[in-house]
């Protein structure tokens, strides 16, 4: 199911901004808004799931939103209104957060604590395969069917997840009992206390900040990199899709390796997060400064490798540092950092782009990643009170 919803999302990612600008004829700042609303809605949903998840029929509801998620992309090419697109993106963002948060928590509940690092690493690697499948489909679909009809393949990939959910229903039902036990435990602790304990946990802070900073950069890439590649390097729509294919190949290779890297213990998880944000800042700067198309494509792929480190390592930090009764809320907040980063990135860079040009969106993300690197170093080295486990 995780593979399916990510594959559907990544069919849309390389072509959405191109569609909004070239077909709908929206100005560049509206391109950013259409992209952002998906993740704004998703981040708000993550908070609600963290607070209210755990009751009876919760998982049944989360599986049913697969239908909503899958239908939305097929409606994109049926409208030329940016307002309707914003509404559709918001609805799909709600469904996306529901599926994503549920999948991450279900993976943790299905795996013993002794195997959790390996399991989370394997789970995130399966998501990478979904990220890989999406642009691979798009690369072949655009020359044959065009940008607009490629959205129908996103819906098709979503329905694969519904089909899988039907056959996995018994397994999911058995896991749901554990979910409900966690839900009951969560209700015994006040929400304010849970949130305070989570945000004061140093390792959660490292995971949250590192992930947030990276996905600000990724939000810039989703909204503006396709347009920048077309305008600056004269890339075709198919070549833009190939860029994302290279990106996710690098992500997949890294995620398949991250479990072994962590098990070797030569570099700590917190150090990996610091290195990841540092390289994100460097590579973002390279995108803005260098004007060679091969350097752009290579750096684009290297950013994919960074994503393959940051997200799974952050998930591992949370799994080992947050007690099980707070796991649902902690994971929801962590997933929220992914969506907030992607949601605010097009909004905070839109004015800069209008005034200075598309490349300056990468400069903004460079500054954010650099500042976050310094913050993570401070969190890692500073002395703090007893951790809230």
Taking only the tens of pLDDT, the chain with its 389 residues reads: 888 999 999 999 889 999 999 999 999 889 989 989 999 898 888 777 766 555 455 556 767 788 899 999 999 999 889 999 999 999 999 999 888 777 766 666 666 666 666 676 677 667 878 888 898 999 889 988 999 999 999 999 988 888 876 776 666 655 555 554 444 444 566 777 888 888 888 889 999 999 999 999 999 999 999 999 999 999 999 899 999 999 989 988 888 788 777 777 778 888 999 999 999 999 999 999 999 999 999 999 999 999 989 988 998 888 888 877 777 778 778 888 888 999 999 989 988 998 999 999 999 999 999 999 999 999 888 755 444 44
In a domain, 175, yes or no: yes
In a domain, 386, yes or no: no
Q: How many CA atoms lie within 13 A of 121 on its CB side?
A: 19
Question: Which of these, 306, 295, 285, 288, lies nearest to 367 by C-alpha position?
Answer: 285
Q: How many domains does the chain have?
A: 1
Residues 6 or more apart whose Cβ sits within 8 Å of residue 14: 134, 135, 138, 226, 240, 241, 243, 244
Residues 274, 302: Cα–Cα separation, whole Å: 16
In a domain, 187, yes or no: yes
In a domain, 389, yes or no: no
By the 8 A CB rule, do 53 and 328 touch? yes
DSSP type of residue 268: -
In a domain, 274, yes or no: yes
In a domain, 242, yes or no: yes
Residues 274, 265: Cα–Cα separation, whole Å: 16
For the range 91-94, what are the long-range contacts, defined as Cβ-Cβ under 8 Å and sequence gap of 24 or more? 91/41, 92/38, 92/41, 92/68, 93/37, 93/38, 93/39, 93/40, 93/41, 93/42, 93/45, 93/339, 94/41, 94/42, 94/45, 94/65, 94/68
- The H helix count followed by the E strand count for the chain is 15, 0
In a domain, 388, yes or no: no
Residues 6 or more apart whose Cβ sits within 8 Å of residue 310: 210, 211, 214, 273, 276, 277, 280
In a domain, 387, yes or no: no
What is the residue range of 71's domain? 2-381
Residues 279, 371: Cα–Cα separation, whole Å: 12
**CATH at residue 69:** 1.20.1250.20
By the 8 A CB rule, do 51 and 180 touch? no
């Amino acid at each position: 199911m995780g593979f399916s919803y990510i594959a559907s999302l990544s069919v849309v990612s390389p072509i959405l901004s191109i569609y909004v600008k070239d077909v709908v004829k929206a100005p560049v700042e509206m391109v950013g808004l259409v992209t952002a609303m998906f993740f704004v809605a998703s981040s708000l949903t993550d908070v609600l799931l963290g607070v209210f998840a755990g009751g009876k029929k919760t998982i049944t509801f989360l599986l049913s939103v697969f239908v909503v998620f899958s239908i939305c992309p097929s409606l994109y090419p049926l409208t030329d209104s940016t307002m309707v697109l914003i509404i559709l993106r918001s609805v799909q963002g709600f469904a996306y957060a529901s599926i994503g948060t549920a999948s991450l928590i279900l993976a943790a509940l299905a795996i013993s604590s002794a195997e959790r690092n390996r399991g989370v690493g394997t789970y995130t690697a399966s998501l990478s395969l979904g990220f890989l499948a999406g642009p691979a489909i798009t690369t072949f679909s655009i020359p044959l069917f065009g940008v607009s009809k490629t959205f129908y393949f996103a819906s098709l990939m979503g329905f694969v997840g519904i089909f899988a959910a039907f056959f996995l229903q018994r397994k999911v039902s058995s896991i749901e009992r554990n979910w409900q036990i966690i839900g009951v435990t969560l209700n015994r602790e006040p929400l304010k206390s849970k949130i305070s304990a989570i945000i004061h946990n140093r390792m959660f802070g490292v995971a949250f900040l590192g992930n947030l900073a990276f996905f600000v950069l990724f939000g810039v890439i989703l909204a503006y990199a396709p347009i920048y590649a077309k305008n600056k390097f004269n890339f075709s729509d198919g070549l833009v899709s190939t860029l994302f294919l290279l990106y996710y190949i690098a992500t997949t290779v890294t995620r398949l390796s991250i479990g072994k890297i962590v098990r070797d213990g030569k570099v700590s998880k917190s150090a990996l997060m610091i290195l990841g944000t540092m390289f994100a800042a460097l590579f973002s700067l390279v995108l803005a400064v260098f004007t060679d198309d091969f350097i752009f494509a290579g750096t684009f792929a290297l950013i994919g490798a960074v994503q393959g480190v940051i997200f799974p390592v952050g998930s591992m930090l949370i799994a080992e540092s947050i007690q099980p009764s707070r796991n649902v809320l902690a994971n929801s907040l962590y997933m929220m950092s992914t969506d907030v980063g992607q949601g605010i990135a097009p909004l905070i860079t839109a004015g800069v782009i209008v005034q200075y040009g598309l490349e300056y969106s990468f400069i903004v993300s460079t500054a954010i990643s650099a500042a976050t690197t310094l913050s993570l170093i401070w969190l890692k080295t500073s002395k703090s009170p007893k951790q809230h486990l």
